[in-house]
Amino acid sequence: MKIIKNNSYELILSDGSHALRDCVLALGNFDGVHIAHAALLDKAKELRAGIGASQVGVWCFGQNPMEFFSHTPPQGILTKEEKIKIFFECGMDFVVIGDFAEFRNTDATDFVKDHLIGELSCVGTVCGYNFKFGKGRTGEPALLRDIFGEDRCLVVDRIQLDGVTVSSTKIRELILSGDMVSARKFLGRPYYISSPVTQGKRLGRTLGFPTTNQYFPKNHIIPKRGIYATVCTTEDGKRYIGVSNVGIRPTITDGTDTHRINCETYIVDFEGDVYGQSLKVEFYKLLRDERKFNSVDELKSAIERDAAASVTFFDNMEVGL
């Protein structure tokens, strides 16, 4: 992987080459890279083959533009690094991460002609039906068609699931409500976090249930507080059933807790030390809401029940365990 940076954008090439040739670009924000985004990426690959372009890639911003216009911008479903990884898994040759501050006042036509065509050698585009770009969001798919031609600009219509339009906004609503079953359908994969395991108080060990502690990435969406059936993947690629608490651990406190929400996971049938390592935790189902117990014994019994419930949930699922 080769990374090239300038003042306006970051170019990540999967093959390590230093230049772009005639390419097709999938344009959008791609927050979550959900099933509608995957369909758009597939169309980009089809257009590349159809017009004989050399490469196919993605163009998106490194930050949500709403961060510049709102005090409460939407929280991210994926980190930038996770997005890039998924783009390459979807068959993209390169990814362009634009700096919104550099492009926010660029005229829509100039953006296409000077940047996409002039700098990136773009010969065709694919975008969603509601894609807007350029200063004042004046650029629309019709402008792309005027510049590239009807056969070199594909527009992907809205995609619905169970009568609901697939969107990042809807997926955020599902995650915030704890509906991980539906979120998984809309995303095309489980919602997950992948972050370093931090040092906790090791209180779980005294209960017979050693746990891992992780904080959610900055500006990352945090699910509804509660207990979840999860699948954990360690750095060596091994996968285990887990039961994860998203919350502030209300039962056990010694007065030093910051009450910062974290993800605390008991990994079933796991022996080892993953402190400092990156652990991927995939959320499959909300088992119950977080609650405060009257005693440590009550908490221990609850953890036993939650772990058993998580194992039972995965008994009839093909999740690669």
10-residue block means of pLDDT along the chain (321 residues)? 90 82 95 96 98 97 74 86 95 95 94 96 97 94 97 96 95 98 97 89 61 92 97 95 88 58 93 90 96 82 93 84 71
pLDDT at residue 292 in the model: 83
C-alpha–C-alpha distance, residues 225 and 245, integer Å = 7
pTM of the model: 0.91
pLDDT at residue 295 in the model: 80
pLDDT at residue 291 in the model: 85
Domain ranges of the chain: 2-161, 191-314
- Topology classification of domain 2-161: Rossmann fold (3.40.50)
C-alpha–C-alpha distance, residues 18 and 4, integer Å = 8
pLDDT at residue 248 in the model: 84
What's the angle, vertex CA 14, arms to CA 118 and CA 149, rounded to 5? 35
Give me the helices (H) in 9-167, please: 35-51, 80-89, 100-103, 108-110, 141-148
Of the CATH numbers 3.30.70.870, 1.10.260.40, 2.40.30.30, 1.20.210.10, which one belongs to the domain with range 191-314? Answer: 2.40.30.30
Contact of 172 with 75, CB cutoff 8 Å = yes
pLDDT at residue 65 in the model: 67
C-alpha–C-alpha distance, residues 233 and 133, integer Å = 38
Q: Quote the strand ranges of the chain, DSSP E.
A: 2-5, 9-13, 23-27, 55-61, 94-98, 122-128, 153-156, 160-161, 164-165, 191-196, 211-214, 226-233, 239-247, 262-267, 278-289
